Amino acid sequence: MSLSSSDAAPTALPRAKASLGRRSMFLRRPFFTVALIVAAAYVLAATFAPHVAPFDPVKQDFMAMMQGPSFAHPLGTDSYGQDILSRVIYGARYALIIGIFSVLIGAAGGLVIGLAAGLSGGWLEWALMRLIDSILALPSLILAVAFIAILGQGVDKVVVAVGLSMIGPFARTVRADVMQVRVQLFIEAAQLMSIPYLRVVWRHVLPNVIFPLAVQVTIRVSEAILVSSSLSFLGIGVTPPTPDWGLMIAEGRDFVSFAPWMSAMPGFALALLLIALSIVGDGIREEFDPKLRRGA
Amino acid sequence: MLRQALGKIAQTLVVLFFVSVASFGLLKLAPGDPIQIMLGSEYSQESYEQLTAQLGLDQPFLAQYADWALRFVQGDWGTSYVARTDIYTYAFKEALPVTLTLASFSLAFAILIGVPLGVLSAVKKDTAFDAGSAVLALTGTAFPSFLLGILLIWFFAVKLQLFPVMGYISPWQDFWGGIYHMILPGLTLSTYFIAMITRLTRATLIEVMEQPYIAAARARGEPSWRVIWVHGVRNIAMPLVTILGLQLGTLLQGTVLTETVFNLPGIGQMLTSAVLGREYMVVQAGVMMTATLFIGVNLLVDLSYPFLDPRLRARK
Amino acid sequence: MNDMTSHPVTAQDAAEPILRLEGLTVHRGAAKILDRVSLSLGRGETLALVGESGAGKSTIATALMRLLDGARVEGRAELDGAGDLLALPERRMVRLRGSRLSMIFQDAGSALNPSYTVGRQLTTTLRRTLGLSRAEARAKAVELFTSVGINDPEGRMSAFPHQLSGGMQQRVMVAIALAGNPDLLLADEPTSALDVTIQAQIVRLILAQTRARGASCIFVLHDLALASQSCDRIVVLYAGQVVESGPSREVLEHSRHPYTRQLKSCVLEIGSKDLTAPEGTVPPHSEMPVGCRFATRCPRALPRCAGEAPPLVPARDDATGPLDHQFACWNPE
């Protein structure tokens, strides 16, 4: 049989008005648009931090310790005399880098395990499911703490720890998607036409899994940022004097009664980004996952 | 129904096994050579080998694991130098109750506040009240809890001097004192859940109220308060518990952070100081204990489903 | 609250309708779902409300129960002894529901709360409408279950809706509807969701129980044959307008409206039991003629039909009461 089906275009599951409604989405959802703009502003600030920030974030100035907001230092200074505004701006850079890279690690790991779990059968599938369950047996923060214990502290270690701790939720989502695709008729048809299994996976399963995964990646960035900030707040994340919001909030805690701006400024920067990302995530999820419900 | 339950329990045990292997492996992966640490800076090869054999560290991995597992189940978790006590006492008897008290208190509080708020939002759908509570709910779910804790401390404890800044008193020993110290941490922790429960209750109730049996209840002459609270709310129990079950991890995470903010001697503090102090046995015990607890609670939630939704019970 | 004895229908009662619906008009947005629907029902009578899907039959029942949300309702619905149902304050309406008028829904499975036992749902209604104690209500519930043909009534009390078959669920619905001894029962296509074999049983059950209690029943259905066999009166509805009404036999044997005739001729084909629609389709609400809505499909349509709505007039000059045979057509057969 000479069929050119192995070179046929990968079939796609019908996607609810994915491309049609995108343009009007910004008009329909004003909150979403505003949130997106805010998030974009953070990204811009992070990218151009060296040009936007007035001071070097780790430059200490003992003459200007713990000053309130002023013209020279719009957000005040901390206990080392470092300019808080600059540290907040660079903090955006660290938050976003850590957030994005850890989510990518989690998604990659989750993709591999989820695919394996979804495509295999029998006892292997059952065992992989239990494996995923055991990864999920601990909340991300606790897992991240455990990984930090092994890896040590520092920005790169935080990225790995948070990334590894997010594999669980991603694996579960990927597996669910794979299961959905598996039962579609075109998979059976492809197999009936003696197309090699891996080819089927590559051409047909993967495209239908990647898209929802990408949606999940976008949604979970805020979660990653929260976990990494939490780690730093607890004192077991990045090391000082890295301008990380969580670390800054922790540093300012002891001085909250007379220098509240030390914790409040990075705090609100963090809160605002998280809220904006949350709204954006909600909007994306509603738009592209209309009837599907994803697990936590 | 019994068979289903047994099946679930069996699954749980397998998961527990995996977790225990991982926890044990954690210790093995930890940097630093424990023998070196114990022997100090100068030692001979002989004493090194002696101590290794003595501690059983030359055994194959599985044998060591079995040994550890056996000891763990019996309550011998090792010793903590920082806490100056055996880890079992430290983790299970002292730290865990604090965490559990805070977590359950906050969750109960969140349900008590969140469900009525959600019901009201659903009933007053699309009014100003509804819009307002939606905004609050959104903020509540995204706002980082440790920041909220600090804000609350700043406002209520420092400025208004109404509540203690930090510290813990066990309500089991001194009820009112304990509650007093629990209010700010409890409020901090429950905020996320109040927001989540409100949103969830509202969404689920709206769906439920569209069902035919609600109209049928009204047709029978049931007064509207009964239609909402007896017929409607009863049917949101299942989705609510399901989602709460999925959020247990978030609850635990939040507890850990809140404990740190308010200086409560729970699992959070235990784990953090253990990581900083490189006390890997404490981390390991903490992880294992937390996982077991977590898995156990999830199992209980799983088993409770047939009770909440009669449709899941076996047919007569 | 009702007294528990059923009163036999006297000649005097028969003359005074239990329900008099006048000019019921329902607007949903720009669409007029029901257009000046009028009908009357005597005590102890059964009325079949017949029409195609979307004609508005269920809307009439829902509007009478005042359970129609999001729509503007006009008209009068006089329930003997209670006043205008459409104008009563909600609190009074709540008291009437279940006790003087009640409703049987189409899909009993979804009309029963899945989280409570059927026994509980029945006894709650009994206790509220009849003021019974818990023990009395339980006894009465078992009695009701027996009378609607549920076997092992005691055992079934503790069953959940999903544990019962479709027919059984509908019997429970009937029992609950009858619990408060209502004067008026609204049955909204109660058999559409059931197997054919069960359908006849349920219809017979509802009619028998209604008659035994001297109550009246409005039966919403789309099966003209069934309607003619079982009900005293028929009201034919097309696109929200009453086209013909009156005692069953008269409406069917001497039908005047072209639509009724078409329905009849479709049903009388051998083997077909369900209503086969006449030629054409119901126009969408945006294109609905101002006058008679059947004008677009009527073989006897006159130019004036689409623009001017024909009033309901008596079919015979000697029988001009609201309960007699009426029709609405400018060019009747």
According to the 3-state scheme, what is the secondary structure of A82-122? CEHHHHHHHHHHHHHHHHHHHHHHHHHHHHHHHHHHHHCCH
Q: Does C102 touch chain B (CB under 8 A)?
A: yes
With beta carbons less than 8 A apart as the criterion, state whether A109 and A171 touch: yes
Beta bridge partners of C101: C97, C184
How far is C175 from C190, CA to CA, in rounded Å?
A: 13
What is the identity of the amino acid at A93?
R
Q: 């660079």: which residue's tokens?
A: A90
Q: pLDDT digit string (tens) for B97-133?
A: 888 888 988 999 999 999 999 999 998 888 888 888 8
Cβ contact (<8 Å) for B144 and A263? no
Give the residue from B26, B161, B272, B275 with the most A CB atoms within 10 Å of its CB, the best one to mutate. B275
Radius of gyration of chain A (CA): 23
CB neighbours of C60 closer than 8 A, spacing ≥ 6? C21, C24, C34, C37, C49, C218, C220, C237
Residue C107 to residue B212, Cβ atoms within 8 A? yes
Using a CB-CB distance cutoff of 8 angstroms, which residues of chain B are in contact with residue C115?
234-235, 237, 309-310
> Which parts of chain B are beta strand (E)?
79-80, 85-86
In 3D, which of C173, C158, C114, C164 has the Cα closest to residue B236?
C114
ipTM: 0.80
CA-based max dimension of chain A: 83
Quote the Cα angle for C195-C196-C198, to 5°: 70
The predicted structure's pLDDT at residue A294: 39
**Mean pLDDT rounded to a whole number for chain B:** 82
Q: How far is C190 from chain B (nearest CA, A)?
A: 13
Question: Is C157 an interface residue toward B (CB < 8 Å)?
Answer: no
Based on C-alpha coordinates, what's the Rg of chain B?
A: 24
Least CB-CB distance to A142: which of B15, B158, B290?
A: B290
User: Among B220, B231, B237, whose Cβ lies nearest the Cβ of C125?
Assistant: B220
> Which domains, ranges and CATH numbers included, belong to chain B?
100-277 (1.10.3720.10)
Distance from the B223 Cα atom to the nearest Cα atom in chain A, whole angstroms: 33
Contact B252 A142 (CB under 8 A): yes
The Cα A199–Cα A209 span in angstroms is 15
Give the distance, in angstroms, between the CA of residue C281 and the centroid of all CA atoms in the same chain: 24
Q: Is C56 left (phi over 0), alpha (psi -120 to 50) or beta?
A: left
Closest-CA distance of chain A to residue B221, Å: 35
CA distance A263 to chain B (A): 8
* Residue B143 DSSP code: S
| pLDDT 10s digits, B238-288 | 888 888 888 888 888 888 888 888 888 888 888 888 888 777 778 888 888
Average pLDDT, integer, range C310-326: 79
- Cβ neighbours of residue A282 under 8 Å, at least 6 residues apart? A32, B138
As a whole number of angstroms, the distance between CA B69 and CA B21 comes to 9
List C-alpha distances in Å: A296 to A237, B69, B197, B200, B270: 24, 31, 15, 14, 27
Question: Crossing angle, helix A122-135 and helix A84-119, to 10 degrees?
Answer: 160
Is A145 within 8 Å of B272 when comparing Cβ atoms? yes
User: C99 to chain B: which residues are within 8 Å by CB?
Assistant: 221
CB contact at 8 A, A135 and A171: yes
* Apex C183 CA angle, C181 and C187, nearest 5: 90
pLDDT tens digits for range C42-66: 888 899 998 887 778 888 999 999 8
**Long-range own/partner contacts, residues C210-215 (CB < 8 A, 24 or more apart):** C210/C46, C210/C185, C211/C44, C211/C46, C212/C6, C213/C6, C213/C178, C213/C181, C214/C6, C214/C7, C214/C8, C214/C9, C214/C43, C214/C44, C215/C6, C215/C44, C215/C181, C215/C182, C215/C183, C215/C184, C215/C185
**Cβ–Cβ of C105/B216 closer than 8 Å?**
yes
Rounded to whole angstroms, the Cα distance separating A209 from A114 reads 10
Gap between the Cα atoms of C97 and B221, Å rounded: 4
Question: Interface of chain B against chain C, CB under 8 Å?
Answer: 211-213, 215-224, 231, 234-235, 237, 309-311, 313, 315-316
Any idea which residue has 């299961």 for tokens? Answer: A179
End-to-end CA distance of chain B: 11
Distance from CA of B303 to the nearest CA of C (A): 17
What per-residue confidence (pLDDT) applies to A153? Answer: 86
Q: How far apart are CA A254 and CA A263, in angstroms?
A: 9
| Amino acid A106: pLDDT | 93
pLDDT tens, residue order, chain A (296 aa): 333 333 334 434 444 444 455 566 676 677 788 888 999 999 998 888 888 778 887 777 777 777 777 777 788 888 887 888 888 898 999 999 999 999 999 999 999 888 888 777 778 888 888 888 888 878 888 888 888 888 888 889 999 999 999 998 898 888 888 877 777 766 677 667 766 767 777 777 777 788 888 888 888 898 899 999 999 998 888 888 888 999 999 888 888 778 888 888 899 999 999 999 988 888 887 777 644 443 33
CA-nearest residue to A282 within chain B is B138
Q: Distance between CA atoms of A195 and C45, rounded to whole angstroms?
A: 70
pLDDT beyond 70 at C156: yes
The whole-number pLDDT of residue A273 equals: 93
Give the separation between CA B282 and CA B288, rounded to whole angstroms. Answer: 10
- CA of A13, closest CA in chain B: separation in Å? 27
DSSP H/E element including C220: strand C216-221
Q: Cβ–Cβ of B234/C116 closer than 8 Å?
A: yes
Work out the burial of residue B43: count CB atoms within 10 Å of its CB; fewer than 13 is exposed, 13-18 middle, 19 or more buried.
middle
Strand order in the sheet with C17-28: C31-42, C17-28, C72-79, C83-84
Two structure tokens written together for A204 = 């047909």
Which three-class secondary structure state does DSSP give residue C97?
Answer: strand
Q: Are A and C touching by the rule of 3+ CB pairs within 8 Å?
A: no
Confidence (pLDDT) at B112: 92
User: Residue A24: is it exposed, middle or buried by C-beta count within 10 angstroms (0-12/13-18/19+)?
Assistant: exposed
